[in-house]
Structure 1
Amino acid sequence: MSKIEGVGRQRRDNTDSDSDSDRDMLATQPTVFAPGEDRLSMKELRALAPQDEAGRNRSMGLSEALIMMVDDEMLNIEMTEAFLADAGYRHFVHTDQPERAVPMMRKEPPGVLLLDLSMPKVSGLDILAAMREDSVLRHVPAIVLTSSTDAQVKLKALALGAMDFLSKPVDPSELALRIRNTLAASAYREYLGQHDGLTGLPNKQRYRKDLASVLDEALASDHPGALIHVGVDNLGRINDALGRGVGDQLLQRVAKRLASCVQTEHGGELSSEQHNPSLYRFDGDEFAIIVPYMEGVPSAAFINKLLEDSTVSFQRSGFPELFVTCSVGVSVFPNDGSEPDVLMRNAGLALRHAKLAGPHRYEFFSPQFKDLALSRLDLSAGLRHAVSRDEIELLYEPRVELASGRVVAGEALLRWKHPSGRIIEGDELMDLAGSSEMDVVLTEWLFELLMKHMKNWRSAGLQAVPIAVKVSLANMRPSDLVHLVNAALANGVDARQLSLELQQVSALDNLPAKEATAIAGLRKKGVRIALGRFGASASISHLRQLPCDEIMPDASFVRDVERDATVQAMLLGIADIARRLRLSCVACGVETAQQLAFLKKNGFEQAQGRHLGEPVTGLVFAAKWLTRGGRPVRISTPGDLS
């Protein structure tokens, strides 16, 4: 029976008596306006007309909003249309056939709906019910015009989504105010739905919508463009150390700097015919920039300007001055994709790789990033179950004094035997654990097993050597590391037999002084501190802020020392820094006799790597390298050290 595509048929079948009584009460309708009040003075009209300030958050003013009226009396519609035209509302549609109302709204949703309740064939309640079932129309504000005084009728309309009521005959002044206020509230709600509350920038939803428009233009005009994702480096550390309030302040400052940088490009070489570069708050610590046209030198200059302008400093009483940097990931369309979601994902992947390479860097998307991301995702998921499945084992690698050839220490090495047969160990495993926030769990597990091994060695009367433990600070706070070490010392581990090889030490840059000095407190107890992967994730600047006993150049230096003169010079420079600072320098990753010969020739004190001894279990390590009160065991390798 219903002509709104069947909507409301079942509801009326089940509530025939209710509908009939409702319509009986609403049978007789007066005109929409009270007699003699169908026109207002020009002064009154100006006072009630759409205000510019009310619509400032929208791309067009409230006067541009579409107002729709559904009423079976054409006189009511004509009077209302004339009044709204005088009041400044230029877009008005109507129907006196209520069965057409919902299809009309689906074709073009109005800004506000003026709805009569009592109409033949299809009632206003039926229309509200149909709107409620529509994902778009349910958000259209409806003002009900009714002469009913029955509270139950109003409750039904409210339950179906009506926003406001006006009793017939309607006072024109009140109608004007209700329309203006409803449109203003709707505009503000729309603004909140498309803007970030912290920075005021357009949000992810607006980003995706605008990107679709820019892509359509770029594909039609056959010109390139780009998405740039900007991520604040180490924001999580700042939130943990100084509180989320400080982190929010930093995000606001970065947003202002980025907005200024993007604004200067409007109308320039990065703009297309229809669009200018635009900035968005994407998610968490990320911002996004749509560049409608991006090719050649201007793009590189803009990216470098973004990196420079987004660097901010922050000083808080009692804390060191922070210098916060950003990293950048770029995807270019159409080369890297022609769909918004694909391009957004690829820009995000490029940003992740930029951050993995270190802070304050940028990367363009490469198809390899996707393959690596999928592989890393699979490995990260598997790593969370690896410990409980006994897939992780703790091995020990000997460290050798090159002058004597004797084992003077050992390094604890985690190895993951992946079900696929792949072996993941050492720095690769630490990086994977850090990116999946499993490094803390693995470190706790390592310390627990190490304490058991060292206790067994003492019980057997073996002469133990110091054991170095790789510790990533990517997700572990120094104070948490102190708790682990103190627990080991309380269980009988000699502090002099423990060395901490710190990795990802850049995380210390944004920590409060109390956290940064926690490492120094361990050193005072006799625990040796080493800067791991020096020259890669650790630099000379970290030597100034973190007292240590030894530095360990990244294994890539030894790996490339035979074929790259620049690497040779850098490795020798690191060794010279260590000597001048009276620190030990431990060469890592020695795998060939030629590498070993280079290290001996240039006066390196200690080294470790497979050429000097394969990683073995705790039992084998004890049997092979530890003695009962005697001198340290001398290694025997194909390349004699003597």
Structure 2
Amino acid sequence: MNEKISKLHVDELFTQLKDAVIMMVDDEPLLMELLQAFLEEEGYKNFIAVEDSRKAMEILDTKRPDILLLDLNMPHVDGFDILEAVRKLKMMQKIPVIVLTSSSDGATKLKALELGATDFLSKPVDSSELALRLRNTLMVKAYQDQLTYYDALTHLPNRQLFLDRLEWSLKKTRRDHERMALLNIGLDKFKQVNDSLGPRTGDEILTEVSMRLIESVRESDLVSRLGIDDLWRQLARLGGDEFSILLPQVAQDDSAAFVAERIQHALAQPFVVDGEEIYISASIGIALYPNDGTESDVLMQNAGAATAYAKQQGVNSYAFYSKEINELSKKRLSIEAALRRAVENNEFVLHYQPKIDLHAGKVTGCEALIRWNSPEMGMVPPFEFISIAEESGLIVPIGTWVIEEACRQQVDWRQQGIGDLMVAVNVAGPQFKMANLQHVIESAINDSGIDPRYLRLEITEGMMMGGEDSLIKKLNDIKALGPSFSIDDFGTGYSSLSYLKRFPIDELKIDRSFIIDVPGVRDDAAIVKAIIAMAQSLELSVVAEGVEELSQLEFLKSLHCDVIQGFYFSKPLPAEDFAAFVLAGGELDALHKS
């Protein structure tokens, strides 16, 4: 694969030497004809000849050549002035300039060098010397461009080169009164795959993604539909799992949608790494010029906002930017800023949902669930801020506080005479990946004085993907401190019997999506029955969450499910209300109903 990637990008993505656009500015048209004739014999084929030096800068800006052959002594505007103007413009600073000069004095050459000349070619021009200097200069440019403007992993253009192309395309689009589209492509849940399977697998997937993106936008029907022969050259990797593609000359919105759909189709087939099939999808945001912005930074921002919106709608979707999306984007930024203040001001509280042991007929524990008591927004439920906390990295300090507070509260209940109750705490993916998680848990245990046997840590199946040996060691090291582990949302991820046998897990929590329609929906009922039977055979306790109806409770009791959690018994409660619920024995009444 790597050899294929290298050959493809060296031969096609990097400007091939013979395909270089060579611009010549000289007031001697006969000389330029001779130079072009010789270079055509050498295999070069793209030339721009400018006899009137007054037009040089306009043509440079429009055509963007790969190299400039520049005469110094010309009427109207001499080569020194052109060279100085070129080097002052950010978008032209890297264009190599070979100066054509009949002057041999050192002062002339020194001045040209000071103004940014790359090389010199003496008049009358020696054809062999011209071929060598041109080849060497283009080779150096290609090497420097590769280091500066191309992503080292995928060999796609990087953010810097893409922004440069975007600026240039915007100028051309304005001048020609055309429309264009910008697509921002974000891979869905790639971080989860990268964290679970490791960076090597992540890199292989990103490399293959780049290949598929290239092929998807090079296919003949797509190119012919948009009328752009080198559309695939407008593709870039902006960083991480984020890609972008620029679509110039887009007259209709459906052309951008067509490209988005083709990209999603290209990514639909499984990625095979080390014999394992991995599925990756993409959420795509689309911003249109001039409707959604006339400047590059605005278009980039709006395309990114549309991608974020598409991700919220579910995986493998695309969305056009709109004012409503802009408002949502601003709201997310506002929530992130408020979250940072909330961490500093300790604005979070925990509510506790009772967990009823069906065998003992009483509350034996609870799940600690975070709430945000915002001064501006009131009590904010977790679904409105957890995803933002994870994306911003704030989930790590928030998760640390949750563990510490849950341990402290468990001890407080014990001191109130309620007894030792098992308190379960969700551990988010980024928090679980922390190198110091063991230290965080140990400190929480020591500072609170909790008996660690009554602390249960809930992790998801996705966290168990990849690097089994290191994960098993991490789990065992934490278990040595006393806590136990539960797999949350079981049945929705990637677990297998081999995982359950090898990992030091104590409990399975059946995801509420399987509980909602039991016992009426046969498939869900069969899944729940199978999970409970499997857990019992592995000597794991099993929790059913999301129980809301008597029929669900009776069905689970008939299968000898161990623990029930859900609104049928109680919603999550503040600490004081939870204590009152336990002391009042309300759960026994609920059980007697069944």
Normalised TM-score (structure 1): 0.68
Secondary structure of 1:272's aligned partner: helix
Pick the aligned partner of 2:154 from 184, 187, 199: 199
Q: Aligned residue for 1:411? A: 367
Pick the aligned partner of 2:466 from 510, 517, 520: 510
Shift of 1:67: 1.0
Shift of 1:530: 1.2
The one-letter amino acid paired with 2:311 is: R
Matches within 5 A, 1:253-332: 253-256=208-211, 262=216, 266-267=219-220, 272=225, 274-275=227-228, 278=232, 280-283=235-238, 284-287=240-243, 303=264, 306-309=267-270, 311-314=271-274, 324-330=278-284
Pick the aligned partner of 2:438 from 482, 488, 495: 482
CA distance in 2, matches of 1:63, 1:400: 74
Shift of 1:551: 1.6
User: Is the Cα–Cα contact under 8 Å of residues 230 and 326 in structure 1 kept in the other structure?
Assistant: no
Secondary structure of 1:308's aligned partner: coil
The one-letter amino acid paired with 1:128 is: L
Q: Aligned residue for 1:546? A: 503
The one-letter amino acid paired with 2:403 is: F
Secondary structure of 1:517's aligned partner: helix
User: Is the Cα–Cα contact under 8 Å of residues 482 and 519 in structure 1 kept in the other structure?
Assistant: no
Pick the aligned partner of 1:129 from 62, 84, 89: 84
Q: Percent identity?
A: 28
Secondary structure of 1:463's aligned partner: coil
- Structure 1 residue 442 and structure 2 residue 395: aligned? no
Secondary structure of 1:112's aligned partner: strand
Aligned residues: 553
In structure 2, runs of 5+ residues without a counterpart are 1-9, 41-46, 294-298
CA distance in 2, matches of 1:299, 1:490: 53
CA distance in 2, matches of 1:298, 1:125: 45
Shift of 1:471: 1.3
User: Is the Cα–Cα contact under 8 Å of residues 329 and 363 in structure 1 kept in the other structure?
Assistant: yes
CA distance in 1, matches of 2:89, 2:409: 66
CA distance in 1, matches of 2:383, 2:363: 22
- Structure 1 residue 625 and structure 2 residue 582: aligned? yes
CA offsets, 1:222-270, max 9 Å, x none? 9xx996947385457647985x5665455335545666x649x833588
Q: Aligned residue for 1:382? A: 338
Q: Aligned residue for 2:118? A: 163
CA offsets, 1:285-309, max 9 Å, x none? 3456799998999998985563325
CA distance in 1, matches of 2:307, 2:591: 50
Q: Aligned residue for 1:607? A: 564
Secondary structure of 1:66's aligned partner: strand
Secondary structure of 1:65's aligned partner: strand
Q: Aligned residue for 1:39? A: none
CA distance in 1, matches of 2:373, 2:14: 57
CA distance in 1, matches of 2:166, 2:450: 60
Q: Aligned residue for 1:84? A: 35
CA distance in 2, matches of 1:143, 1:302: 41
Q: Aligned residue for 1:453? A: 409
User: Is the Cα–Cα contact under 8 Å of residues 472 and 504 in structure 2 kept in the other structure?
Assistant: no
Shift of 1:588: 2.1
- Structure 1 residue 147 and structure 2 residue 103: aligned? yes
Q: 1:273/1:589 Cα in 2 relative to 1: closer, same or farther (>3 Å)?
A: closer
In structure 1, runs of 5+ residues without a counterpart are 1-52, 71-76, 315-320, 627-632
Determine which structure has more spread, i.e. the larger CA radius of gyration.
1
CA distance in 1, matches of 2:81, 2:434: 65
User: Is the Cα–Cα contact under 8 Å of residues 267 and 281 in structure 2 kept in the other structure?
Assistant: no
CA distance in 2, matches of 1:563, 1:618: 35
Pick the aligned partner of 2:133 from 164, 171, 178: 178
Shift of 1:68: 1.0
Pick the aligned partner of 1:589 from 537, 546, 557: 546
Secondary structure of 2:345's aligned partner: coil
Q: 1:369/1:544 Cα in 2 relative to 1: closer, same or farther (>3 Å)?
A: farther
Q: Aligned residue for 1:469? A: 425
The one-letter amino acid paired with 2:510 is: P
Secondary structure of 1:409's aligned partner: strand
Secondary structure of 1:493's aligned partner: coil
Between Structure 1 and Structure 2, which shows a larger proportion of helix residues? 2
Q: Aligned residue for 1:496? A: 453
CA offsets, 1:194-237, max 9 Å, x none? 64332234556559769979xx9xxx999xx9969473854576
Normalised TM-score (structure 2): 0.73
Q: Aligned residue for 2:358? A: 402
- Structure 1 residue 352 and structure 2 residue 311: aligned? yes
Q: 1:371/1:525 Cα in 2 relative to 1: closer, same or farther (>3 Å)?
A: same
Q: 1:157/1:377 Cα in 2 relative to 1: closer, same or farther (>3 Å)?
A: same
User: Is the Cα–Cα contact under 8 Å of residues 132 and 160 in structure 1 kept in the other structure?
Assistant: yes
CA distance in 1, matches of 2:68, 2:38: 15
The one-letter amino acid paired with 2:507 is: E
Shift of 1:641: 3.0
Shift of 1:126: 3.5
- Structure 1 residue 575 and structure 2 residue 532: aligned? yes
Q: 1:371/1:543 Cα in 2 relative to 1: closer, same or farther (>3 Å)?
A: farther
The one-letter amino acid paired with 1:272 is: R
User: Is the Cα–Cα contact under 8 Å of residues 424 and 456 in structure 2 kept in the other structure?
Assistant: yes
Secondary structure of 2:26's aligned partner: strand
Pick the aligned partner of 2:206 from 225, 238, 251: 251
CA distance in 2, matches of 1:65, 1:128: 16
Shift of 1:392: 0.5
